[in-house]
Structure 1
């Protein structure tokens, strides 16, 4: 799939940006975090990795994006084996103690929803946390038919995202 063709595709859900707050009803929710180290330097290194598609690549996915760094409106095609997942970055977090981005699904993605990838620094104890939040539902008949397996796979991949940092 040509990345330029992704630019013209619409998002497949209406709750754009909802990973920043209350996850919307009618979707499967995922909210995971893991402590990945300590210190400001560890936070900066992890933040750089997140914004350069490091969680996806570290989880074993192939990533093709029209931007080296996650930026609003950047399009990305994430592949895991034969499964292709076209997405568009819908938000970027750039705060002193939290960095990351969220992308939403485009037409052709087997799911419909949004996923947030972030790293957070806790100044109270210098702990650094990786975070993944998502809401999704099947967008294809074959994803609906394999829903229990698909939900398990999503959880396994989300844990791989966290370990990638």
Structure 2
């Protein structure tokens, strides 16, 4: 049995572990969670936008940070199961998620995933690339989360700091990808 089949059999049965499905698209973010929004320019022009959008929706952006991504499909689609994991060996933190929404528009591309049972946090995170009228390509990470495991509760205020650092790392990776397209 391959890894994806095992993930589907075990983690697919777990539901989302939060109620505010789609809140990263609808805004405002729900109360009772830590909120994160990181918005940065990553390039300029249609080619940079296309490259960045493809990297976001094809998992390349996440993988380029060193995260391991196991997904049911090569490109994000709503209701797709995905597991993102960071770390090494027994210190690998696994984060089972489900794609909540996608955007494949002429000037906006991205998606959000929500946390499932056994994720160390509960909440939702979106990754969106936009092409502005002046040609600037913007990347925005928006999230709301709170601890869902003993070790994220124990880590307390360190978790939001790590989340912000990861969002900045994603931005730097996307900037390199978009820059290579121009």
2:51 maps to 1:67: no
* 1:14-93 correspondence runs (5 A): 14-20=19-25, 21-81=27-87, 82-93=92-103
- TM-score, normalised to structure 2, is 0.87
In structure 2, what is the equivalent of residue 12 of structure 1?
17
1:96 counterpart (98, 101, 106)? 106
Aligned residues: 164
Give me the whole-angstrom Cα distance separating, in 1, the residues matched to 2:112 and 2:71.
Answer: 14
Residues 81-138 of structure 1: CA deviation (Å, up to 9, x unaligned):
1100000000001221110000000001000000001100002x10001110000000
2:153 maps to 1:128: no
Judging by fraction of residues, say which structure has more helix. Answer: 2
Higher radius of gyration, 1 or 2: 2
**CA drift at 1:64:** 0.5
Give me the whole-angstrom Cα distance separating, in 2, the residues matched to 1:55 and 1:26.
Answer: 29
**CA drift at 1:67:** 0.8
Which residues of structure 1 form unaligned runs of 5+?
A: none
Residues 29-77 of structure 1: CA deviation (Å, up to 9, x unaligned):
0001111110011101111111001221122201000111110011111
Note if contact 1:3-1:65 (Cα within 8 Å) is conserved in structure 2: no
In structure 2, what is the equivalent of residue 108 of structure 1?
118
Give me the whole-angstrom Cα distance separating, in 2, the residues matched to 1:55 and 1:111.
Answer: 21
Give the aligned CA root-mean-square deviation in angstroms. 1.1
- TM-score, normalised to structure 1, is 0.96
Which residues of structure 2 form unaligned runs of 5+?
A: 175-182
2:161 counterpart (145, 152, 163)? 152
Give me the whole-angstrom Cα distance separating, in 1, the residues matched to 2:82 and 2:7.
Answer: 7
